[in-house]
Amino acid sequence: MSYAATTARQIRDHLRHTLGRACLWCGSTTDLQFDYELPTPDGHHELAYRSRMVAYVRQSRVGNLQLLCATCHARKADQDWVMTHLPQISDRAPRQL
């Protein structure tokens, strides 16, 4: 385990602690993932792990980071996508990547 990776994990643990270690929607404490409350296209999914943690810290400082479990996160991702594309699609259209 490299020093950089250890530090990234410490950042992640700190953020989880700050956000209460539970899914904001259902209270689950397993499979937790960070989510931008307001979708922000900063390309953080393309970043290396540590840079992504730093991006999460930045969002948490402006109050835009929340903790969701994998199930709720997937549900929100779908909602975010639908809201962004609503004018172009009909209800329940398949997701285009």
> Per rule CB under 5 A, is residue 25 in the interface with Zn ion?
yes
Q: Which stretch binds Zn ion (CB under 5 A): 7-15, 21-29, 32-40, 55-63?
A: 21-29
Query: Min. distance of Cβ 82 from Zn ion in angstroms?
Result: 19
Residue 90 tokens, joined:
């009909």
User: Is residue 69 involved in binding Zn ion (CB under 5 A)?
Assistant: yes
Q: Which residues in 44-74 are b (16+ Cβ under 10 Å) and which e?
A: beeeeebebbebbeebbeeeebbbbbeebbe
Q: Does 28 bind Zn ion (CB under 5 A)?
A: yes
Which residues of this chain interact with Zn ion, rule CB under 5 A? 23, 25-26, 28, 69, 72
